[in-house]
Amino acid sequence: METPTNELEVVKSSDLKPKPVGDQVPFGTVFTDHIFTMDYETGKGWHSPKIVPYGPISLDPAAMIFHYGQTVFEGLKAYHTEDGRVLLFRPEENFKRLNLSSDRLSIPPIDEEQMLEYLTKLVELEKDWVPQTPGTSLYIRPFIISTEPNLAVGPSQTYKLMILLSPVGSYFPGGLQPVIIHVEDQFTRAVKGGTGMAKTAGNYSAGYQAQANAKKAGNADVLWLDGVEKKYIEEVGSMNIFFKINGEVVTPALNGSILKGITRMSVIELLKSWDVPVSERKISIDEIYQAYEDGLVEEIFGTGTAAVISPVGELNWKGQKMIVNNHEIGELSQKIYDTITGVQYGRVEDSFGWTVEVN
C-alpha cells in the first residue's frame, strides 16, 4: 500500500455548536463539531487524512455502499476522569478489529498505528465535548464505506473512512439495571462461513425483526443461537454473553459467527487475574436451562462498549422463563463493572495498560 499524502489537514469549524447539558442525551443523536475523513483509491492507497467540520457528505446514488453493503465500522469511547484527563479504552484493539472486519468484506486495510494518531488528534480537538457527568462518555464511531459509483457486484475501487464523535449519557443512570432477554429460535443473525465475526452493517439490520418481536413481548433484546442447530449460544444484539455457573464463568468460544468483543476480552483477562475460573467454549441453551433447574446458574451478564456490563435478570426461551439471581445484579458482575469502569474513568489503577491518554 502506497501512502502518498499522509499529512493530516485540519479545517476548523467557524460555527461551534452548543454542547448538550447534563446526562439526558439520547444515544447517537448529537455529534461534535468535527469529523475525521480519509479516502482510498486503488493504486493510490489511503490518502488525504483530514479533520473537517461536521456536515453532510455527497455521494453518487450509484455508490456501492447503497447497493452491495461493502462497509465496516467500530465503536469505542473516550472517558473524562475526575482529575481532568481524557482516556481511550484499548483503542488499538478497535483498529485491529476494523482490519479483521475489512478483510472479511474485501476492504483494504488501514495503518492501525497511524489511525490511532489521527483519532487522538480528533479527540484532542474535541476535548470539551467529552462529558463530565459521572457515567457519561464520548462515543467514537470509525467506519469505512465503499464509494465507487458502479452497479457491478464486486469490491469497490474507492472508499471513505470517517470518524464521528457523539457525547452519550450514562447507560444506567439509576445504577445497573438487569434486563430481560428473549432467546431467539426463529431468526438467525449469522452462521459459520458468513459475516458474523465482522462488524459490518448488514449484520445489524438483519436482527431488527427479531428484536422488534422480542420488544413487543417485553424483552430488551434477543440472545442469538447458532444458525445451524439453533442450539448453541452466540451473543446478544450488541453484547457478548457470560454465565456464572456453580462458581465457574463460561462464555461462547469465538467460532467465526460472533464478534470478538473488546469488553469480552477484558473481562476474561480480569477474571484470570482474579483467579476466577473462566472458559471459552461451546455452550448449548439446554445446558444453561439444565444448570438452572439444578440451581447452579448464579449470574448472567452481557458485555459491550455501550453498557460495559449489562446484568441479565431473566431469559425467555420457548415459553420457559429463567429468573437469574432474583432479578438483581450479581456480586461478580458488579465487581467487574466497578473495576472496568474504574479503569476507564481513572479511579482504579490501570494495571493492564488498557487506557491511552489524550493530551
- Check binding of 299 to ligand PLP (CB under 6 A): no
Give 149-181 as a DSSP string.
B--SSS--SEEEEEEEEEEE--SSTTS---EEE
Could you tell me where the beta strands, DSSP code E, fall in 186-330? 221-225, 233-236, 240-245, 248-252, 278-281, 297-304, 308-317, 320-323
Choose between 45 and 256: whose C-beta lies nearer to a second copy.
Answer: 256
* Cα 333 to Cα 339: distance, rounded to the nearest angstrom: 10
For position 193 contacting a second copy by CB under 8 A, the verdict is yes
Rg of the chain's alpha carbons, rounded to an integer?
21
Q: Smallest distance, Å, CB 152 to ligand PLP? A: 13
Cell numbers placing 28:
447517537
Q: Are 278 and 243 in contact (CB under 8 A)?
A: no
Site string for ligand PLP, 243-262 (x = CB under 6 A): ----------------x-xx
194 binds, among ligand PLP, a second copy, none (CB under 5 to 8 A by kind): a second copy
Q: What is 83-109 written as a DSSP string?
A: TS-EEEESHHHHHHHHHHHHHHTT---
> Does position 240 bind ligand PLP by CB under 6 A?
yes
Task: Tell me if 305 contacts a second copy by CB under 8 A.
Answer: no
The reply on whether position 186 binds a second copy by CB under 8 A is: yes
User: Which residue among 33, 148, 184, 235 contacts ligand PLP (CB under 6 A)?
Assistant: 235
When the beta carbons of 221 and 298 are compared against a second copy, the nearer one is 221
Of 324-353, which residues contact ligand PLP (CB under 6 A)? none
- Within residues 312-351, the interface with a second copy by CB under 8 A covers none
Instruction: Give the residue among 284, 269, 187, 279 at the shortest CA–CA distance from 234.
Output: 284
Binding to a second copy by residue 117, rule CB under 8 A?
no
Q: Is residue 80 within a helix (H) or strand (E), and if so which, with residue range?
A: strand 76-80
Question: Applying CB under 8 A, which of residues 131, 167, 237, 252 lies at the interface with a second copy?
Answer: 237
Tell me 32's DSSP state: -
Using the minimum distance from each CB to a second copy, give the nearer residue, 73 or 301. 73
- How is residue 226 annotated by DSSP? P
The least distance separating a second copy from the CB of residue 126, rounded to whole angstroms, comes to: 15
DSSP state, 293? H
343 CB neighbour count, 10 Å cutoff: 23
The residue within the footprint of ligand PLP, chosen from 65, 239, 270, 288 (CB under 6 A), is: 239
Considering the rule CB under 6 A, would residue 238 count as an interface residue with ligand PLP?
yes
Residues near a second copy (CB under 8 A): 26-29, 31, 35, 54, 56-62, 65-71, 73, 104-106, 139, 141, 143, 145-146, 149-155, 162, 164, 166, 186-195, 200-209, 211-212, 227-230, 237-238
Residues near ligand PLP (CB under 6 A): 75, 235, 238-240, 259, 261-264, 303-305
